[in-house]
Structure formats: C-alpha cells, structure tokens
A and B are shown apart, each in its own frame.
Chain A
Amino acid sequence: MSSPAQWTLTETRDRLASREVSSREVVESVLSAIERRNRELNAYVSVNAEAALEEARAADERRARGEFSPLLGVPIGVKDNIAVRGEPCTCASRILQGYRSPYDSTVAARLRAAGAILLGRLNLDEFAMGSSTETSVYGPVRNPWSAEHVAGGSSGGSAAAVAADLAIAALGSDTGGSIRQPASFCGCVGFKPTYGRVSRYGLVAYASSLDQIGPLTKSVRDAALLLDVIAGRDPRDSTTLDVPGLAAEAALMRVGAADLRGLRIGVPAEYFVAGLDPEVERLTRAALRRATELGAQAVEIRLPHTRYAVAAYYLIATAEASANLARYDGVRYGLRVAADGILDMYGRTRAAGFGLEVKRRIILGTHALSAGYYDQYYLRAQKVRTLIRADFAAAFERCDVIAGPVAPTPAFRLGEHLDDPLKMYLSDVYTVPVNLAGICALSVPVGRTAAGLPVGLQLIGPAMGEPTLLRAALGFERERERPS
C-alpha cells in the first residue's frame, strides 16, 4: 500500500471515514515526507508538527466518538499569506518576520469547522508578487520534477507540496495566475474560483479586486471537495456573492459527469500566438483533439483585447498593492528599523523590509495613481478591464468553457527571468484576463515535455461556472503522474 501522504484528498477522507487509517498515521506520513524532501524543495516555510499531531489525536478521538465532519483529521497546507490564528503569516517578506496572526481567515475557520488540520505554511513569492516563487525571503521553491526549474508562482510552495506528496491538498491564492501557473508547472490541479465565491477575509491583500483563494490538489474531485468547504457568502467580506452552496463534489460523482459529449469548448485564436512554446502548444492541442474525439465540440472564438490584459493588470494590481502594502510601516507589527523621526523610520523599515519586486510594484502603483496620471493609467486600465469582461461574455454566448494554455512555457530555469521583470510579467498573458474579468478557471495536467516537465491545460468558465468547469476538467483529467 502507498503511504498516506501520496493519497488524494477524497481518498484520504474516505479511508479515514472507514477507519482504514488514523488521522495520526496520515499526519505522521505527511510530516515524514516533509522531513525527507522539504529541505530540497523549500515548499513549507514553517510546520507546526506538534500541534498537528495533537490535533490528529483529537480528531481520532472525535471520530471514535462517532463524529463526522467532511475533512475530520485531514492535514491541509496553507499558503503563508492566509491568516491562521496563532501561526506566522509572513507573506515570505522580511517586513512580517515575527508576526503571528491573532485571528483566523474565513477559509481557515471553515477548514477547521470541517475538521481539517492546518499543519504548515507554504512558501510564495513575497506578498504573492511573482510568477516563480523566487522573490520569497526564504529563497525559491524547486520544481519537484527538476531541481533546476522553478515551481511557478506565486503559490509555488502549495503546488510543489501537493505535486511531491508533501501535502494532501493545499490552499493558494490567485491574483493573476498564482494558483494555475504553478499548478501547471508542477503537475497538479489548481482552481481559481469566481471572484466573490470564496471569502478573502484573512487573505493578506495584494490586489483586492483580483485576489481569490483557491485549492491546489491532486485531482479534480479533490478541488471540488475543497471548494465545497471554503466557498460561500461571508458577512466579513462584502465582495462575496450570495449564491447557493456548490455541492461540486457531489455533482462530479453523478454518472456521466466526466462525459465530454456535447461540451462546446471555445478555443481563442489569441491564446495560440508567437511566443507560445511548441511543446506547450503540442500538448494543449493534443488534449483538445482528445476531447473532440470523446465528443466535445471545438469552437473558434475571439478574445480581441487579450493583448492589453497584461498592461491593464499590472496597472490595476500595482495601484491596489501600493495602498494595501502601506500598512507595513514599522509602527504596529513586523519589522521596525529604528530611526530619529517617524518619516525616517518608515523609510528605513520599508527599505529593509520589502524586496526588490515588491518595491518595484509599489512604486509602479503609486505612480499610476498620482495626480495627473490617474486618468491615463488607472482609469484607462479599468476601461480595458471592462472590454476584457465583455470579450468573455461574448465568447460564452458560443461555448461552455474556454480552453488554452496556462502559461506560454513549461517551468523555466531558476533565475532565467529574474533580471527581466517585463519577460516575467508577459508570461502571465493567459492567466491575468481571467482575474480582470472576475471569472473562474483551472489548470489540469495534460502531459509532460520531452524534458519531463508537466504542462497543464487551462479551462476557463463564466462567472459562477464552477460546476461546468469541474465536469469538463474531469473529462480531461488523466491518471496522475508523480515526480520521482
């Protein structure tokens, strides 16, 4: 029998429910996997082993008493920008070293209520700003399939941990592709829900109008299960949507759920252009061909404003970030560099506390909002955003889901894009339009390159289109491959 750490979330849940395994055994298995491989992968930045084992013991007792909750005793990893009471929440930044959150994010509270054990904090790009997890103060996450390659970002720790069986499942956050792109690079499922589907309360804000928490899992069913637990209206987040619960996993269990017959798959011409890696294109087209062979119908669609998406995204996201990150000033928590006056203290603290990429984005966003530039940058970007939303609305008149690559390339080498921020930004071209439009999308593994690096297929659904999207993904899902 494989070790519990290798199991999927639904598998783990079912085996715990049938008492085939104890929560303690599952947690121990995950802890020993972390012990074996985390030094190399750098996926977790902190693990609370003692507390996790204690919670596992309590979970086993609860189960012995006949209690049932959907994730009772299942360990889950959480990206280090999502608040968990009593745990560090550093956002992989020097400026938040030593800070522990005194409160639970809504997703953490929902996971706890479902019985889950939040056993560790997962690495990320500093404040989720990056596409490679190389801007982390803890150093980069390594791709489980190749130590010279990045895991993607910003949820690189979450994706690597799930792909390398260092976690049963994990939470990440996606502002411009930060769940989907690392999922594609590492070979796991990554789901970015519709904006407002999952509460952002307790997610350290990078770009508030784009951020969304979502699952990174070993299977499509796992993503559905985790989504069922974390989604729903939250009175603490006014931007959450008041819609009925998902019951997404149950929907996937129905007979014929994975049947692709009749599904209209939109294929945007703008997603297959120069710059797209030939192997990524080949794997993406092969997956689409397979789908049509299984009865899906490919529909050519246009998303004409795609070419403006990266520019609009980097104006809106950095503008919001410039305000969101203003609170890290050394006054109340986190790093403080002593100085004579308050302004000097602000300056020294932020100079020492933020990394280069974070500073770059704060400056860019501050400039975009400045008097005399607001209309030209921020306002114009918002107009582009409206056009992109309209592009998708028109496309979904003609198809049920849209399919295309997640990123133009498979995982790139560590350091390859680090000195070229623009190149790094451009690699977000296929993921940022989804965040700008506020719709849902996922990455599901569809194969590997000749060098053995995973490639994911991006499926995009309309707002509230999670059920359709998950069913389509189930149809595309292949047997899981593991890095050795």
Chain B
Amino acid sequence: MSWTAAIGLEVHVQLRTASKMFCGCPTSFGAPPNTQVCPVCLGLPGAMPVMNLEAIRLTVMTGLLLGCRIATRSRFDRKNYFYPDMPKNYQISQYDQPLCLGGALDIGPAGARRSIRLRRIHLEEDVAKSLHYGNSSGIDFNRAGTPLMEIVTEPDLRTPEEAHEFLTELQRVLEYGRISECNLEEGNIRCDVNVSVRRGEDGALGTKTELKNLNTFRGVHRALAAEIRRQIAVLESGGRIVQETRRWNDAAGVTEPMRTKEEEHDYRYFPEPDLMPIELSAEQIEVWRAELPELPAARRVRFVAQYSLPEYDAGVLTADRGVADFFEATVRICGRPKSVSNWVMTEVLRFLSERGATIGHLPLTPAALAELITAVEEGRVSALAGKEVLADLLERGGSPEDVIRAKGLAQVSDDAAIAEWAAQAIAQHPGPAAEYRAGKAAALQFLIGQVMKLSRGRANPKLAAAELRKRLDAG
C-alpha cells in the first residue's frame, strides 16, 4: 500500500482594521519602530484591553463566508508563555469558546471538488517583532496587538499541492470578503502546518509533526514535501515518528527538530478577566450575513449562466473581486458580455500583470471601457485602433472619444481613401495579390492587414476587404 499524508493548517490572518485589537493604535505597516504604541499594546502596568468590534465583525464575516457556526457567546482567554515579543508575557486569545466553529472550504478542479473541513476560527492579538543586530536585539512593538484571526483546518489535505491550493483559495475568499489586505510580503497571512503519514487511505492517522517558520505558500509546499519524504523514509527504515515541533530551514530545504512534545509549553489558559464575554444576537449575525459578498465559486457559476461566458472566461474574471466588479460594471453600461470579457482578459489583465497593479488603481473606468467597446462594435473605430485607444486610457484615463479624436483614429469608411490604401497594398505586394487571383483566398487576409497597417488601423476592415476583392477580381 502506498503512503498517504494527512495535513492540517493553522492559518494566521491579519485583519483589515484601522486600529489594533485592544487599543486605538493604527495598524498600518512600515512606520518607524515603536511609533504606533500606547500603554495598552506595550503592556505597561495598569493598562487594560478594550475589544475592537470591527475585528469581531470581520472574523464573523469570515465564518459566514466559510459556512461556520457562529457562536452567540464566546470569550477571550489568556495564553501564558514568556516571549520577548509579547509585552504581557501572555497573549489574549480564544481557547475553548472561539467565535466560529466548523465550516469548510472547497478545492480541486470542477467536477472533482473536495471539501476541506475547518475546525474553528478564533481571534487573538499579534506579537511584536524582534530585530537582531550583531550581539544585541531590538523589539518593534508597532505590530504588537494587531488583530490576528486564526483559521484551523481538520487534517483533510493530502498533498503539498492541495495545501497550496487551499491557501490560494482561502486568500481569494479573504480578499473577496475584504477581510484582510492579504499582503504576503507584509506577513498578512502566516501559516503553521501539521502533517502525518500512514499506509493507505483509511485507519488511524499516523503520529504528526508540526512545522513552523513557513513564511510563503511556496515555503508551505516545499516544507510539506520535505517533511512527508522524511517521515516516509523514517517509517520505511523501521523507525518511529516522534511527536514534535520542527522548524523549516528554507535555505537547506529540510525540516529540523525544534522541541518535542515533552518540551511543549503548558499555556495555562484561563478566561481573560479584563474583558466581558462576546455576546452576539441572532439579529446581529443576520445583519452581517446580509452584507456578505458573493464568493468566487458562486460568481463563476453565475457568470456562465447570466452572461453566457465560457467556463474559462468566468474563471479568469472572478479570480479577483476587483476585476469581476469591473467586468460587471462595464457590462451594465454596454451589454456585450463576451466582448467585454475579451477586452478585460487580454488588454486590461495584461496591463495589470505588466505593471503589477490592481484594477482599483487604474485610471480606466468601466464607463470609458464600455464606450470604447461600443465604438468598436459599431464600427466607429477598428479593433486595432481600439487597442491603441485602450493603451492610452489605461495609462492616462479620460474619454475614448477624446483619444480617438486626438489621435485621428476614427475608423475611415470613406471610399476614396480606402480605394487608395487598397491600390497601394496591391502594388506593394504583388506576390499575395497573384496568389489570391490564383484562387488562394487566404491571401486576401494578408492584404487586408496591409490596408489596416497603411491606414494606421483606421480603415473599416469590411470596406477594405470589399475594395480589395473588387480590384483583384477586376484585373
């Protein structure tokens, strides 16, 4: 029997709140060290925490997006351990009464979707950040107290690829729900994993190890692959897996022992006496439920049904909530969903990926794109010229009509001008002209292309084709 892995994830997500979890300090990234601090997040003697209700709302929204049961009563607990990055030497977290229980997230290709069960989602505070120099260390408390949501899965994932896909899909959901900035470079999403292997698919899970220090999704994938290989090698050589926490050494590409089960902290959780329990009414939860955005998977299905788009288009367009919103806003103005989809998927997305930009920051508006597409569809500007106009709009914004006028790109349907370009094309390319006359119809496309080139894209392609055909057939 072959080996199967069972992988569980603990994903820490920094929430998109203006202020910290238990004080009013800002959460913005990149400020000079220790400038976003106060007595509360520094853990000064006598300071007390106050709950950030927006963090609670965002956690409940996440729970609703992932199909969790929302606890009408939950509470915070103190998790005790000494750590220089933790100002109070306890972390305010949630132990046995988390905000969200259960839930699931689907992964896998259409037709073979698999549900990955969640165990819980809870809320806690982030720690500070140590900076090490030569023989001294400094601590930046700007991050201390940032709201941190922890999503814990059941060990339902089977491969490093699945873990990677789960994280990518989760990131998409969090972006869709406007839950987190999801900026991986800034550490908005961090992940611990646990993994075990066993023979075959059934039976009891093997002994698991926990892996720390996984900073990227790719790191998760590589660490899991290495750890699964290590565990199989140990077991196949007759050894036993020790339950322990291991550190991923990214440079060496191996996992290394960090601490064994016996050395694990006893966190001595107990209810946080400085905070009241969180009580959520059913009405409040329903109000939040009504604010939920449509998730990518559901939107994909709707795009196919509502706009008659191919599966592929729907998938590309809904991958990013901003792009999907932009697409729908454009279609609301000009209709023609398939045309809009083509323009967005090719020109707009290429521009975004070249610039590493997001659609929300573009000067191009859905109204401008709708106007341009309408102009192309109605033959007022050629598709080729349309691309040139769009390039301009993507850079500078403005109205398509102005750009068309300024660049003289309005489609030319004037017979005399087209006749002249057609004559020129035939004269310059006698070869293809002869081929056409000899019965090779495809040669006409080449000549149409030449007319478009001569006219800088302005010639009406239908009229150009007719004119070329007329001239070539005539003699």
Contacts and interface: CB of A to CB of B under 8 A. Distances in A.
A101 B50 contact: no
Given A320-B273, A329-B82, A331-B139, A99 B45 contact: yes
A378 to B, nearest CB: 6
A85 B275 CA distance: 24
Interface in B176-210: none
Interface residues of A, number: 44
A203 B274 contact: no
A102 interface: yes
A223 to B, nearest CB: 23
Interface stretch (B85-93, B394-402, B407-415, B421-429): B85-93
Contacts of B164: none
Contacts of A105: 46
A238 B274 contact: yes
Given A103-B44, A201-B46, A327-B45, A208 B51 contact: no
B50 A370 contact: no
B266 A370 contact: yes
A326 B89 CA distance: 6
B48 A200 contact: yes
A133 interface: no
B80 A323 contact: yes
Given A83-B45, A89-B46, A102-B44, A323 B270 contact: yes
A204 interface: yes
Nearest to A89: B45
B31 interface: no
B39 interface: yes
A96 B274 CA distance: 22
A239 interface: yes
B441 interface: no
A91 interface: yes
Contact of A238 (B43, B47, B89, B276): B276
Interface string B48-76: 11110000000000000000000000000
Contacts of B44: 101-103, 333
B293 interface: no
Contacts of B275: 238-239
Nearest to A234: B48
A331 B84 contact: yes
Nearest to B45: A204
B262 to A, nearest CB: 12
Most central of A81, A101, A327, A342 by chain B CB within 10 Å: A327
A332 B50 CA distance: 22
B89 A327 contact: yes
Given A238-B50, A329-B89, A369 B270 contact: yes
B42 interface: yes
A26 B51 CA distance: 43
Given A239-B274, A370-B266, A103 B39 contact: yes
Interface string B275-319: 110000000000000000000000000000000000000000000
Interface string A360-390: 0000001001110010001000000000000
A482 interface: no
Which secondary structure dominates where chain B touches chain A? loop
Interface string B82-107: 10100111100000000000000000
Contact of B276 (A235, A239, A326): A239
A309 interface: no
Interface in B227-272: 266, 268-270
Contacts, number: 98
A327 B87 contact: yes
Most central of B44, B51, B266, B275 by chain A CB within 10 Å: B44
Contacts of A202: 46-47
A326 B49 CA distance: 16
Interface in B115-156: 139
Which secondary structure dominates where chain A touches chain B? loop
B48 A326 contact: no
B53 to A, nearest CB: 11
Contacts of B276: 238-239
A170 interface: no
A205 B46 contact: yes
A8 B39 CA distance: 35
B82 A346 contact: yes
A154 B43 CA distance: 24
A327 B83 CA distance: 10
A375 to B, nearest CB: 12
Contacts of A237: 48, 50, 274
B274 A369 contact: no
B20 interface: no
A431 B275 CA distance: 25
A39 interface: no
A59 to B, nearest CB: 26
A209 interface: yes
A398 interface: no
Interface in A265-310: none
Given A102-B39, A378-B270, A82 B46 contact: yes
A200 B50 CA distance: 12
B470 to A, nearest CB: 83
Contacts of A203: 46
A319 interface: yes
B87 A236 contact: no
Interface string A191-215: 0000000001111110111000000
B47 A369 contact: no
Contact of A101 (B45, B78, B270): B45
Most central of B84, B90, B274 by chain A CB within 10 Å: B274
B46 A83 contact: yes
A322 interface: yes
B274 A332 contact: no
B268 A370 contact: yes
B45 A236 contact: no
A369 B80 contact: yes
17 contacts: A96-B45, A99-B45, A103-B44, A103-B47, A202-B47, A204-B45, A205-B274, A237-B48, A238-B50, A239-B273, A239-B274, A320-B273, A322-B80, A322-B268, A323-B89, A329-B84, A369-B268
Given A238-B50, A323-B80, A331-B84, 6 more contacts: A208-B274, A239-B273, A320-B270, A326-B80, A327-B89, A329-B82
Interface of B: 39, 42-51, 78, 80, 82, 84, 87-90, 139, 266, 268-270, 273-276
Leading 9 A-B pairs by shortest Cβ distance: A326-B89, A369-B268, A208-B273, A209-B273, A202-B46, A204-B45, A83-B46, A371-B266, A204-B46
